[in-house]
Amino acid sequence: MAPHVVATFCGHDRDRCLRAREQYLAALRRAGFEVTAIDPGAAAPAGFDALCLTGGGDIDPARYGEPDAGSEDIDPRRDATELGILAAALARDVPILGICRGFQLINVAFGGGLVQHVDGHSPSAGPLHEHRALALTGSRLAAASGSGAHAVNSSHHQAVTAELLAPALCATVWIDGLVEAFESPEHRWLVAVQWHPERTSEVSPEATHIFRAFADAASLRPATAR
């Protein structure tokens, strides 16, 4: 039986949001998941095997105790929905994958903060930004994507620094002095990346392997996670 993943989305019908949604759904289905898409305000089904927190607008800075200083496209309802589902997933210790906004949301949920704007990491104007990611040896990300550096995209204007990384999380990739991937050593499988591995034309093939590793972890289904 295919593992069942809950994937969260912004719920907008804008063209770029619909395209992004389809890219995430395709990547998760290729990895072998049965997917339930959750929009802001919706409840997660009981008994899901994994959680994917996807990209989108910025998290309300009040969630990490800061005034608004350049955050964009804030949706408090999405924040509340995703934080609730994340808490349920952590309580059951199911595998969790965070991507872009999802990476940032996990850091905030664990008590970390965000830089509300950084220059040079978003392709809103000019060519696509490409970075080389080298995962920390022995990390879950390295096990999934390999020990060598691979090309990843960059499409974010907020970021996590060493000072703002939640203490319980372990940085596994650094790019330009920013934390671009982390994981939790205290959970069965929790990995988060700042880039977009679902955009297969923009990253190395190795970067897309995170979805298969995520599905493999979810397929184990220990009794405590059912």
By annotation, the residues acting in catalysis are: 100, 196, 198
Q: What angle, rounded to 10 degrees, do the helices at 101-109 and 76-92 form?
A: 70
Q: How many CB atoms lie within 10 A of CB 32?
A: 16
Q: How far apart are CA 185 and CA 86, in angstroms?
A: 17
Instruction: Give the residues across from 165 on adjacent strands.
Output: none
Between vectors from CA 124 to CA 151 and to CA 69, what angle results, nearest 5°? Answer: 105
DSSP per residue, 159-174: BB-TTTS-TT-EEEEE
